[in-house]
Amino acid sequence: MSTSKQNFKRHGSRYKARRRAVDILFEAEFRDIDPVLILEDRIELSRNQDNQVKPVPEYTQDIVPGVAVHLDAIDDAIASNLSSDWRLDRIPAVDRAVLRVTAWEMLYNPEVDNPVSVTEGVELASEYSNDQAPAYVHAVLDGILKTADLRLADAATTARENDDDSYLDNLIVSSEGTGSTESTESTEATAPTNPAANDELPNEDLTKDSSEDSTRETTEEN
C-alpha cells in the first residue's frame, strides 16, 4: 500500500468529497448506470444508520451531477490532452474517474483554484492507480489548466472591453442626467413650498434626489 493510500484520511473534507465522487463514478461506469442514481441511492441509505453508509458530502453532491451534465465536454477536454498513443476509453477506469472529477472542478467550479485542483487530482491518482498514473494524469490536467487559463484570459479581455463600453454609456447618461437635474432645480425654485410637485417629476434617480434635496432645504428655511 502506498503512502498516499495510508494517509488519505489526513486530507481535508473537500479531498474526501472528491474521493467519494471518484468511487461513485467508477462504480457507475462498472455497472453501466447513471452515477446520479448511485448518488441518490447513497444519500437515501445514509439516512438510516443501520445501513452503515457514511453520509455523502455536499461537495460530492455537486461533483457527481456536474460531471454527468458536462460529461461530453469534460471527456473532450481530457481526450484532447492525452498523448497520441493514449485513448480515453483505453485508460484504466479509475483514472478516467479521477480525471473527470478534477476536470469538472477546473472547468466548472471557480471556487477552487486550478493549481489546487491539479495537485489534488494527482494525489487521487497516486492513491487509486498504479505508479505510472500520476505522471500522465498530471500531464493531462496541466494541459486542461492551460486551456482553462486561456479561456479565463479571453473572458477577462471581453470583460474589460465591455467595461469600456459601459464607461462610455455612463458618461452619456450622466451628461443627460445633469441637464435634467439643472432644469428640475430651476422649476423647483419657482415653487419651493409645493412638495406635491415631486410626484410629477421624471422617474430618474438623479433628478429625484436633487429635487427632494432642494425641497427639503427650502422647507427648512421657511
Give pLDDT tens digits for 16-51.
999 999 999 999 999 999 999 999 999 999 999 898
Cell of 118: 491539479
Confidence check: pLDDT of 81 > 80: yes
Contact 107, 88 (CB under 8 A): no
pLDDT in tens, 59-69: 999 999 999 99
Q: Residue 83: what pLDDT? A: 86
Q: Which of 162, 207, 200 is nearest to 182 (CA)?
A: 207
Q: How many CB atoms lie within 10 A of CB 65?
A: 16
Q: Specify the CATH number of the domain 13-161.
A: 1.10.940.10
| Positive or negative torsion for Cα 50, 51, 53, 56 | negative
Backbone phi, psi, residue 98, to 5°? -60, -45
Rg, the chain, Cα only: 29
Contact 201, 184 (CB under 8 A): yes
pLDDT in tens, 123-157: 999 999 999 999 999 999 999 998 776 665 555 56
80 CA to centre of own chain: 23
Residue type, 61: Q
